[in-house]
Chains A and B, each alone.
Chain A
Amino acid sequence: MRRVDSPKTMRPVVMLACPVFRAWLQANLPNDYAISVTFLDEGLHARPAHLRHAIQSAIDRLWEPSVVALAYGLCGNGLHGVRAGENTLVIPRSHDCIALLLGSRAAYEKQMAQDPGSYFLSPGWINSGKNPLDEWRTLEQRHGSETAAWLMDTQYQHYRRLILVGQDARELEAVRPKALEIAEYCARWGLRYEERLGTGDYMRRLLAALPVITGAGDSDANIAESDFLIIPPGGTVHQSMFQS
């Protein structure tokens, strides 16, 4: 645990988020302090250099020194090299968004220990077309069915289960038909379909950390170092910071 020294003047709080968290954030953003949320493009993690560029541009565009929460994990090294500039960055120490969706790093590690061949789906990914079935359709159009099938096999053949993670029963229900369609497609590799209820705990801890850093909250409060990276002004995000 670490003590966070609060600056004398309160800085604005900004969140840069992956659209995978859009629904959750819309339902759960606190109304007791101001936070402006910007959603970056979907699926940037497939091109980490573009994710880095998108996040850096958004940070560089801020017009005054701010506390910037990133609703991202390391995401394929997309966050490696991001510079804080005059701002303080708060980042979940998570490999990708899965720990954030499940509620903790421990919950993610438990799933991966149960089966390293776990492929996670979330309502955000399903609705944005970032899932194996939509990927197949795109690749088939672009490369023809033979090459597309080979590409899909090459990328997915080692997975053993498909896990839909939702934040509540209603969310699971809403995307289940599409998830089952994806599961039916993925059955070619023997993937079995499962569902898990995640929790918003990790995201809630991220939101709770922000007033502590701006000085709006309890200045005696601590932020778990195992959960979050805090990059001070002038600092740079490095992938080694995400290691357990």
Chain B
Amino acid sequence: MDPKLATIYEAVLEGDMPGTKAGIQAALDAGVAPITILNDGMIAAMAEVGKRFEEGDYYVPEMLISARAMQAGLAILKPHLQSGGDQPAGTVMIGTVKGDLHDIGKNLVALMLEGAGFEVRDLGVDVSADKIVEAIRTGGADILALSALLTTTMPYMKITIEAIQQAGLRDKVKIMVGGAPVTAEYASQIGADGYSPDASRAVRLAHTLMNA
């Protein structure tokens, strides 16, 4: 790996916000392509963070600190990424389902999608099916991303998808789901279009859904 990219990768992994910002600036100054900085430096580091969390080597705070460094870095990188006048990769509405206030995973997915060039509309936490149906009706998005952390709130994903169907809006959005108790099996059971076990794979899934 290019030493400039390695510096960024390490800084994001360690949650070093000033280091991430300085590393990105140095890479930009040296003429490294912004998309390479994003993919090989920052997103690769967050994928490693996700892996460490899954394996129990990172706690929630370490993951959050890395996400914060990534976010600060994106603020510097974004103007350069968009200088080509590219269209967004797609639009995503995202929220945690009714009864669930846990938004760390949801925010991480939103951040990663933004980084990957998606336009993200954050519906927040504890979002009712009615509110989601309304949001699809007024404005909408290419993709709806739903999150639940509790086994007790996960069934509300099914209720939400049913409400979207009943409103006759199911063909207006692709639906992706995630969160600790959610599985690929459950996602297909409730008629979602996709499931992702973590934030970096959620980006890949969103791209796949856009091309489906």
Contact = CB atoms under 8 A, between A and B. Distances in A.
B34 interface: no
A117 B101 contact: yes
A150 interface: yes
B193 interface: no
Contacts of B152: 95, 108-109, 112, 244
Nearest to B58: A47
Nearest to A152: B61
Nearest to A105: B152
Contact of A50 (B56, B64, B101, B103): B56
B60 to A, nearest CB: 7
B151 A242 contact: yes
Interface string B152-166: 111100000000000
Nearest to A52: B56
B181 A239 contact: yes
B2 interface: no
Contacts of A46: 59-60
Interface residues of B, number: 29
11 contacts: A47-B56, A49-B54, A49-B55, A53-B56, A116-B101, A116-B126, A155-B60, A239-B183, A240-B186, A243-B181, A244-B151
A209 interface: no
Given A49-B54, A116-B126, A143-B61, A244 B101 contact: no
A239 B68 contact: no
Nearest to B101: A158
Nearest to A148: B61
Interface in B58-89: 59-61, 64-65, 68
Contacts of A154: 64, 104
Interface of B: 54-56, 59-61, 64-65, 68, 98-104, 125-126, 150-155, 180-181, 183, 185-186
Contacts of B185: 240
A95 B151 contact: yes
Contacts of B181: 74, 77, 95, 239, 242-243
A112 B54 CA distance: 27
Contacts of A239: 151, 181, 183
Contacts of A113: 99
- Give the dominant DSSP class at A's interface: helix
A151 to B, nearest CB: 5
Contacts of A143: 61, 65
B71 to A, nearest CB: 12
Nearest to B60: A155
A243 B101 contact: no
Given A74-B151, A116-B99, A158-B101, 19 more contacts: A50-B56, A53-B56, A77-B181, A95-B151, A95-B181, A112-B152, A116-B100, A116-B126, A151-B61, A154-B64, A154-B104, A155-B61, A239-B181, A240-B183, A240-B186, A242-B151, A243-B151, A243-B186, A244-B155
Contacts of A116: 98-101, 126, 153
A103 B199 CA distance: 35
Interface string A94-108: 010000000000001
Contacts of B103: 158
Interface string A50-63: 10010000000000
Contacts of B155: 243-244
A46 B155 CA distance: 23
Most chain A beta-carbon neighbours within 10 Å: one of B100, B101, B183: B101
Nearest to B154: A243
A147 B69 CA distance: 12
Contacts of A117: 101
A48 interface: yes
A108 B181 CA distance: 17
A159 interface: yes
Contacts of B153: 116
